[in-house]
Each structure stands twice: as C-alpha cells, then as structure tokens.
Amino acid sequence: MKVGVCGFGVAGGAAAMLLARAGHAVTILERAPQLGPVGAGFLLQPAGQEILAEWGLFARIAAASTRIERLEAYTAAGRRLTSLPYADAALGACAYGVQRGVLFSALHEAARTAGAAETLGVELASVEENPGSITVRDTTGRVHGPFDLLVGADGARSVIRQWLNPHTRSADYPHGALWGTGRSDWPADTLYQVTRNAQQLTGLMPIGGGQCGFFWGLRRAELAPLHARGFPAFRESVSRLCPQATAILDDLRGFDRLTFASYRHALPRRTASARCVLIGDAAHSMSPHLGQGANLALLDAAALSRQLAIQPLAAALPAYCSERRAHARYLALLSHALSPFFQSDSTLLGRGRDIALPLLCAWPWMRRQMCLTVAGMKTGFLDRL
C-alpha cells in the first residue's frame, strides 16, 4: 500500500519503520523542517521495552539509558508517600530513564533504512477521504497523496483526530510543567518526586550519560510571573522543596534550557475510518503523571502493523481499534482522575492523597496493581485483578 504517516514522534516513527519494513511505500509528512526529538527524557516501561526488543532496537537504547528500579514520592516534610518497585510487577522488571533523542535516533535510522521517505516542513491542515484513496492538504494548500492509508500520528493536538471526531471535546489542563535535563548522578536508580499538597510537585529521573531529567509542575498562568522573578528566585523555591535538585539547576543556570509542556486530555470515540487510523497521543492524549504516553505509542504502532500483516485494510483497522481500546481508555481515564491529586489548587485533595497513598501502598494486592499499571502490564480496569 501507499501509506502516509502524519507526524514523526514516537508513534509516527515506530509506525513508519514497521510499515516500511513490511514492504509498504511509506511517506512521512512532518511539520518540523528537520526531524528531531521534542520533549523531556521519559520512562520506558517494561511493556515498551519488550516491543523495542522485538524490533531489534532495545539493546542500543538500554545501553545509553539508566535502569529505574522504583518510583518514589515524598512530601515536603520528607514523609514517604509511595515506593513502587518494578519487581512487584514481575521478577527482574525495571523501567529505563531514556533521553528522548536516543529513542528518536533509533526509530529514525530504522525507518530510513527500511525505505520510508520524508516530506518535511509540511503542516497538515485538512483531510479528504474517497472510497478508493485518501489525500491531505497542508497549510499552503498543497495536496499530498493519494494514499491507500493515512496514519494520524500528529500528537496531542491532532488535526486528524479533529477531522474524524468533529464534535469531540478535548480539555487542556491548566497545569503543566517546566522540563529540562542537567548533569547529576543522583538519584541512582529511582524516579524521585517531592510534593507539597497538590500545589507543588517536582521530580528527578536519571536518563543515562550522567544526565538527569528534572521537572517542576506549575500552572500555565504562573509561567510569566516565574520568569519575571528570575532564575535565582526559582532555584531557591526548588531547593526548598527538593534540595537534591540544586545541582541540576546549577548546571542549567537559566530558563533557556527549561521548556514548558502543557497537558491535554482527549479520548476520541472514533480512532479509524475506512482509510485513516489514529495512533499515539492523537488517539489518546493524557497528562504524563503515569508516564505511559510513549509506551502506548509504541504498543499502538506494533498492534497496527500486526493487524495489517494478517488481514486486509477493511478488517485490520477495526481490529486494531478494538485491540488497543481498553488499554488506552484505562490509562487515559485513570490519569485524568488522578491528575488533580498531584497538580491542582486543592489543598484538600493533596491532604487526602497524603493519607491514602501510604495506606494503599502498604496493601500488597493494591501495590501490585499500581506496579502493574505503571509497568504498562495492566491493560484494563479488570485485567490482572
């Protein structure tokens, strides 16, 4: 088939590589003038590691990343709220703290080697689907295609999702986070987070090469005042909540190497038509508190290529949608429900969380459910009970 893949992030990169490897004529349509990773370091969960290993890419990514054995969260007063060891999900399981560029380069190289073509600097604006083909028009009016299949991998603000679901509402969270990467060898094997009520949240995650990912949660509206107060005042606030982050801020030295990321929740009803299918954040965008988006993007691409390999397009797209629906729905709804407990203006939710989380973690069955969920191994509300 002639396949257009719109967007070259984790989902589009993986889909372009797999479909080109399967012998399809793949064209990547990407709005960025040059392909490159966007965003912070991320946690590669066990389910994503398994898929990358099947594709022959995992060893290279693991070698450049850091093993994460557990997720820990503390209050500002130093009381432990959670400690979720990956070993509770499965013997020997762990996550990896990965620099986005490492995964990106692996996918990009593999997609190129498999023969995927790239059309860059193209911002898709609309889609036209006919019984025999599908085309897309970019913002300059140029038409791309015709394709037999269009893969919508254009991220959390997907134009293709909007075209498939003109009446679906997606919600921007008022909160987001400043993200950056700096030199630090602490913490060694843990995603470490500190929170004060639900109003302050910061975290550190080692991502290989002596680098550590850092984030500081804040409301979008607080960004300009934060910049106006200056970097030294910001460093002071971070050090008060999490003294361990000071070394990274001293390496960053200013706001230039910190990027603000906002979050969006969208769970569209339609994720496919006869010739178009959504994958990754385009199919399910969520806040990153559960650390699952990149993982889901890899699983989506794997499921799509598997279904296309075993049956014709007309059957493969509905089969892909039903295969992926429960997992995406579970994580999107869970992260939407939990987000206000970690980032909101409510003191009450923060206090409730501080009481409930340690109790839930002390209950072995519940701790295992939580570990399976973050590991990407629990794929629905009723799975693995």
Which residues make up the interface to ligand FAD (CB under 6 A)?
6-12, 29-32, 39-40, 42-43, 123-124, 153-156, 159, 177, 179, 261, 280-282, 288, 291-295, 297
- Cβ at position 292, least distance to ligand FAD in Å: 5
Residue closer to ligand FAD (CB basis): 293 or 350: 293
Residue closer to ligand FAD (CB basis): 42 or 147: 42
Residue closer to ligand FAD (CB basis): 294 or 354: 294
What 8-state DSSP symbol labels residue 266?
B
Report the DSSP beta bridge partners of residue 212: 182, 206
Residue closer to ligand FAD (CB basis): 39 or 380: 39
Q: Where are the beta strands (DSSP E) in 122-189?
A: 124-129, 134-138, 143-147, 149-152, 171-183
- Cβ at position 355, least distance to ligand FAD in Å: 27
- Cβ at position 151, least distance to ligand FAD in Å: 11
Q: What is the C-alpha to C-alpha distance for residues 219 and 159, in angstroms, rounded to an integer?
A: 25
The radius of gyration of the chain's CA atoms, rounded to the nearest angstrom, is: 21
Beta strand pairing call for 42-44 and 80-85: unpaired
Residue closer to ligand FAD (CB basis): 265 or 354: 265
Residue closer to ligand FAD (CB basis): 43 or 110: 43
Q: What is the C-alpha to C-alpha distance for residues 194 and 138, in angstroms, rounded to an integer?
A: 43
Under 8 Å CB-to-CB from 113, ≥6 apart: which residues?
A: none
- Cβ at position 288, least distance to ligand FAD in Å: 4
Residue closer to ligand FAD (CB basis): 326 or 358: 326
- Cβ at position 97, least distance to ligand FAD in Å: 8
**DSSP-H helix ranges across the chain:** 10-21, 46-54, 58-63, 100-113, 159-164, 223-229, 231-241, 246-252, 293-310, 313-342, 347-362, 364-374
- Cβ at position 106, least distance to ligand FAD in Å: 14
- Cβ at position 359, least distance to ligand FAD in Å: 26
Under 8 Å CB-to-CB from 49, ≥6 apart: which residues?
A: 58, 62, 96
How distant is the alpha carbon of residue 19 from its chain centre? 21
Beta strand pairing call for 42-44 and 66-68: unpaired
